[in-house]
Chain A
């Protein structure tokens, strides 16, 4: 890898938005990815891992998913996401944890959430990332409706 790669990355550092829910179009996941990498490239971290949730075709209905509608009670969801990040950082002694979730109507194949974890050792980073992912699916007030290719739709229940 080019020696100046990380310098290039650092040049495009942006202020990383706080963990929380954002409307579609308010976040650029690739810029976010670069921002996190730049944030954790100060020598304090030995590993960073990322999880991206993507809208998939196979849902819980009889026919394929056309779109996914995500809705949130933002006050609750934002508090919950920040709390998950803080608690996972403390539990696994990580340097950075972030969760950014989109709301609105999303197409199949579109990313809907990005979770990032970084720390000194990969074992803690992987375990912390997994915990953050499982918790974001259960705790924040995020509600999901699948819209199917035949025009029917269904609010989903249960993690």
Chain B
């Protein structure tokens, strides 16, 4: 079966491509897909893999939805599925003493009625 993948951010830059298709045996799981990728790109992406999975901070999406790591080994892929490795998602840095400080500013609060 054919499994599609797309590359973003650091993966796209390292591989010099935005997408690719892999041929995997019927019944393959998400973990099998990752192993295939690790084998094919051991030299370029080797440092992104860790203990049979992905390095901390990296996640994975199946057909546009995040897939929890605990399900990778048990999730069987189907022909045409799209598996995407998600590089670390970068929000703003927390500021001192304020664990979830917004990046910028509250632009406006419009009092419309009696609030």
- Chain A interfacial positions (CB closer than 8 Å to B): 33, 37, 40-41, 43, 45-54, 56, 60, 71-73, 75-76, 79-80, 114, 120-122, 125-126, 129-130, 133-134, 136-145, 155-159
Q: DSSP class of A's interface residues: helix, strand, loop or mixed?
A: mixed
Instruction: Please provide the chain B residues from 83 to 114 with a CB less than 8 Å away from any CB of chain A in the complex.
Output: 84, 86-93, 100, 102-114
B88 adjacent to A156 (CB under 8 Å): yes
Q: Which residues of A contact B24 (CB under 8 A)?
A: none
B103 adjacent to A143 (CB under 8 Å): no
Q: Does B64 contact A (CB under 8 A)?
A: yes
> Which of A52, A139, A145, A157 contacts B107, CB < 8 Å?
A52
- Chain B interfacial positions (CB closer than 8 Å to A): 6, 8-10, 12, 57, 61, 64-66, 84, 86-93, 100, 102-115
In the assembled complex, how far is the CB of residue A85 from the closest CB belonging to chain B, in whole angstroms?
17
Q: Which residues of B contact A126 (CB under 8 A)?
A: 109
Q: Can you name 9 A-B pairs with beta carbons within 8 Å?
A: A47-B110, A47-B115, A48-B110, A48-B112, A51-B106, A76-B65, A133-B102, A145-B9, A155-B88
